[in-house]
Amino acid sequence: MTCEVGFTLLTRNFGNEDAKKIETYEKLGGYQPLRKALRMKPEEIVAEVKASNLRGRGGAGFPTGLKWSFLPRDATEVYLVANADESEPGTCKDRELMYWDPHQFIEGFVISAYATGAAGHNYIYIRGEMMREYAVMQQAIAEAYARGYLGKNILGTTFECHITMHRGAGAYICGEETALLNSLEGLRGQPRLKPPFPAVKGLFGKPTIVNNVETLCNVKYIVDQGGSWFADLGVGRSGGTRIVCVSGHVQKPGVYELPMNITFRQLIDDICGGVWPTGASVKAVIPGGSSMPPLDESELDVPCEFDSLMTDERIKPCEFGAGKVFDMGGGRVLRSMAGSGGIVVMNDRTDLVAACSRIMDFYKHESCGQCTPCREGTGWLAKVCKRVAIGDGLPGDIELLGSIAHGIAGNSICALGEAAAWPMMGFLTKFRADFVRKVADAQQKVADAEARVAGKQGAA
């Protein structure tokens, strides 16, 4: 049965400054699941992770056990890399997970390394700006080495696992797993063409698993309590709890660990104390980081769960022009996605065109410049969206925005192109009237100016 509000796994130690010390962590039962894991066969752990319905918490929601099973069976050298480059706007959970409970992360990491056969050197790629969390992680890693949870012969076994923290230096694109691998190799952080996928050819050309921080933390509990127990906490094909980061116009923004089946309306009203300021109502909600198409007020009864956001028919399919439904391939429509858990609430007083413009500016800034559809497309979207936002929109701009977004989607090396194109289409589909009004006002301004000029000329 799905867990209830109030049940927590990963966020239990949030707010407890003491819990980041290894002594406290051990007293709370920490590193016992690692002992258990090392008594299991790696393939038994992979089977439990598959049974758990754990899905990647970085954004794509891909089944973790399935990802692990893509490693070649005869692989002799495998790397595990944790993606701690959290930077999707609206997302603030991995930073908190590392700050409050670094050993939970390390324990999940070592268990996962053992399960995937990633013996030897492994890496945590941490965002450059997270200097406080880097210091906390370095301290925790040193403690784990001192206690024999990292290094050679872990807990008296033959298993060897080293973790090296690799700091980024300010590039959102390095959250994309192949850009991250390039950055780890000491290159510019530009994504690689896939295939080959990292599980086949990744870091230093070797089979590599890249998992998000929250994903790896969960593995500890799957080993401890079993895959089916974990699956039962969730709903459908999504096991476990869901950490959401709620920001924007709510009374109590925060990082909350909740049941998978909680709806956006319950989340806003019951957990976050309603819309901010008092008296305002919801206009739009970004459901999973700024790269996901927003929801409107009529779509808030959908749960924050991976499959629901993709398939629930209460969510309108995105269009790239009036009545032109976007085809993701094979006739699949784009509704929205649960992404990284970054939920941004916008009230009825929000200038949504300005909000959309800020999001487009971000993707323009972060495009790595490698491929044309993304480099030129994100810049073009940002330019046109900004002129509409500031009241200089031209006739045809709305159609132009839809057509640029359509031109990017599916045509870039990595998903950063979609990360700009999808929300653009989402805003245009659900809040088209806001864009239409902005352009109409701009055209009225032009018409008024022309009339004044004509009047002056007439007078002269």
- Pairs from 443-449 (Cβ < 8 Å, separation ≥ 24): 443/393, 443/395, 445/391
Contact between 390 and another protein by CB under 8 A: the answer reads no
DSSP state of 11: T
Min dist. Cβ of residue 164 to another protein (A) = 4
Of residues 357-376, which lie at the interface with another protein (CB under 8 A)? 358-359, 362, 365-366, 368
Listed residue (108, 109, 111, 141) closest to 22, CA to CA: 141
Nearer to another protein, 41 or 188 (CB): 188
Contact between 166 and another protein by CB under 8 A: the answer reads yes
Nearer to another protein, 112 or 290 (CB): 290
- Rounded-to-integer distance, Cα 380 and Cα 401, Å: 8
* Inter-axis angle of helices 432-459 and 352-366, nearest 10: 100
Token digits for 458? 């007439």
Contact between 355 and another protein by CB under 8 A: the answer reads yes
Judged by CB under 8 A, the number of residues near another protein is 56
Q: What angle do CA 83, 220, 218 make, to 5 degrees?
A: 50
Are 370 and 417 a contacting pair, CB within 8 Å?
A: no
Are 125 and 168 a contacting pair, CB within 8 Å?
A: yes
Listed residue (243, 346, 360) closest to 295, CA to CA: 346
β-bridge pairing 242-248 and 342-347 = parallel
Min dist. Cβ of residue 391 to another protein (A) = 17
Nearer to another protein, 346 or 425 (CB): 346
- The 309-348 contact track toward another protein, x by CB under 8 A, reads ---------------------------------x-x-x--
Contact between 135 and another protein by CB under 8 A: the answer reads yes
Q: Where are the beta strands (DSSP E) in 192-317?
A: 208-212, 242-248, 254-258, 282-286, 295-296
- Which residue stretch of 232-240, 245-253, 325-333, 435-443 sits at the interface with another protein (rule: CB under 8 A)? 245-253
Min dist. Cβ of residue 297 to another protein (A) = 17
Main-chain phi, psi angles of 25, to 5 degrees: -60, -40
- Interface residue with another protein among 64, 183, 241, 308 (CB under 8 A) is 183
Of residues 145-164, which lie at the interface with another protein (CB under 8 A)? 162, 164
- Interface residue with another protein among 52, 83, 94, 300 (CB under 8 A) is 94
- Interface residue with another protein among 128, 273, 407, 410 (CB under 8 A) is 128
Residues engaged in binding another protein (CB under 8 A): 86-92, 94-95, 121, 127-132, 134-135, 162, 164, 166-172, 183-189, 204, 245-249, 253-255, 286, 290, 342, 344, 346, 350, 355, 358-359, 362, 365-366, 368
